[in-house]
């Protein structure tokens, strides 16, 4: 019979452990998952680094004594030394977030909500002061209900505080709503002296659009090939705008790619997705596989953004034909909590 760890035992009784350790405390479910992960290894530094974000979400401290008591309750039959070690890790994590100053969140007002397709919306906001992010990064966004999500700004940070987000799926945004926006996270790794292949899956285009707009400020931008991919033609929600951008940029080539050649009835296409004359007709297939048919792209930075499955497929297809993995940088929509990594599986 295999040995059961403290983390495995707590995960097995997750709901009961959550109630015993956190009761009705705000964000109890997330705190429970973080505690289970912390019981499995030393995450003190990770908690300390993320303490401002945790505080901004409304968690300023946790009851370490109550958590320890709950761990002992559910792990009575496990080796005492292992339970003690798990408690030590959890106490260290709890102490790391005590008295943390919340990260600065900047208030922004929703100015424009535009449905580009049934599943795609563009939201424009004006912040009370300049936002802090680099092009290609994502930012935490909280609405007036306290719901926290992460979005890629679609335009570079600017002194006026204007920002644009592209959202896939339903949105409750309304004109006049107030959102709170934090500092940028993540980003792409690339060589500014190398030509580019940008692969935008769906609203992952927002991250790459911000970088694309920055290239216009350069006196001699690198050659850039942009593959804009979607499930249906009607979800190529920025195609008309891209044509306008490409017409003023001889260094930019735009290639639309769709999984399905014809829209379903519910797609809700708008004029924004209509390919104007002069633009390449959409290719059909998975974006990475289509691009792999043109070669390895080994002389390019390869930046990929979008849903995790599509990003991984494009990356794998290009590596298979010889693209250097070190030249591929990607970001997807699966924003994992900092305590979730391959090292914290149990």
CA distance 140 to 182: 5
CA distance 278 to 281: 9
Listed by start position, the domains of the chain span 6-102, 106-181, 195-332
CA distance 178 to 118: 24
Token pair belonging to 15: 């709901």
Q: Positive or negative, the Cα torsion across 304, 308, 310, 316?
A: positive
CB 239 within 8 A of CB 272: yes
Ramachandran assignment for 45, one of left (phi > 0), alpha (psi -120 to 50 degrees), beta (any other): alpha
CATH 1.25.10.10 is held by the domain 195-332: no
CA distance 62 to 318: 46
pLDDT 10s digits, 9-36: 999 999 999 999 998 887 888 889 889 9
pLDDT of the residue at 30: 83
How would residue 123 be classed by pLDDT, with cut points 50, 70 and 90?
A: very high
pLDDT 10s digits, 278-321: 566 789 999 999 999 999 999 999 999 999 999 999 999 999 99
Nearest to 198 by CA among 157, 206, 278, 240: 206
pLDDT 10s digits, 157-177: 999 999 999 999 988 889 999
How would residue 340 be classed by pLDDT, with cut points 50, 70 and 90?
A: low
Please state the CATH superfamily assignment of the domain spanning residues 106-181 in this structure. Translation factors (2.40.30.10)
pLDDT of the residue at 342: 35
pLDDT 10s digits, 78-94: 999 999 999 999 999 88
Mean pLDDT of the chain: 90
**Considering the entire predicted model, what is its pTM?**
0.80
142-153 mean pLDDT: 77
Token pair belonging to 84: 């003690």
pLDDT 10s digits, 187-225: 999 999 999 999 999 999 999 999 999 999 899 999 999
How would residue 335 be classed by pLDDT, with cut points 50, 70 and 90?
A: low
């Amino acid at each position: 019979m295999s040995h059961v760890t403290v983390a495995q035992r707590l995960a097995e009784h997750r709901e009961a452990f959550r109630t015993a350790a956190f009761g009705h405390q705000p964000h109890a479910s997330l705190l429970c998952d973080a505690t289970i992960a912390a019981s499995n290894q030393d995450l003190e530094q990770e908690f300390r680094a993320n303490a401002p974000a945790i505080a901004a979400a409304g968690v300023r401290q946790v009851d370490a004594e109550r958590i320890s008591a709950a761990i002992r309750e559910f792990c009575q039959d496990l080796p005492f030394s292992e339970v003690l070690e798990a408690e030590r890790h959890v106490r260290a994590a709890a102490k790391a977030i005590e008295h943390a100053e919340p990260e600065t969140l900047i208030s922004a007002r929703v100015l424009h909500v535009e449905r580009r397709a049934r599943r795609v919306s563009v939201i424009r906001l004006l912040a009370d002061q300049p936002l802090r992010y680099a092009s290609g990064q994502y930012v935490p966004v909280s609405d007036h209900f306290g719901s926290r999500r992460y979005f890629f700004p679609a335009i570079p940070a600017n002194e006026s505080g204007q920002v644009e987000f592209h959202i896939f799926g339903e949105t409750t945004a309304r004109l006049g709503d107030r959102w709170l926006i934090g500092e940028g996270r993540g980003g792409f790794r690339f060589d500014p002296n190398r030509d580019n292949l940008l692969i935008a899956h769906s609203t992952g285009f927002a991250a790459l659009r911000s970088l694309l707009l920055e290239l216009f400020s350069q006196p001699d931008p690198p050659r850039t090939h942009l593959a804009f991919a979607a499930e249906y033609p009607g979800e190529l929600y920025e195609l008309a705008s891209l044509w306008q951008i490409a017409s003023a940029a001889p260094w930019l080539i735009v290639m639309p790619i769709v999984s399905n050649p014809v829209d379903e009835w519910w797609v809700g296409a708008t004029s924004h997705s209509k390919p104007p004359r002069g633009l390449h007709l959409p290719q059909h297939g998975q974006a990475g596989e289509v691009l792999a048919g043109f070669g390895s792209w080994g002389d390019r930075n390869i930046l990929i953004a979008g849903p995790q499955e599509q990003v991984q497929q494009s990356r794998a297809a290009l590596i298979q034909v010889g693209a250097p993995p070190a030249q591929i940088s990607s970001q997807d929509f699966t924003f994992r909590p900092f305590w979730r990594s391959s090292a914290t599986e149990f």
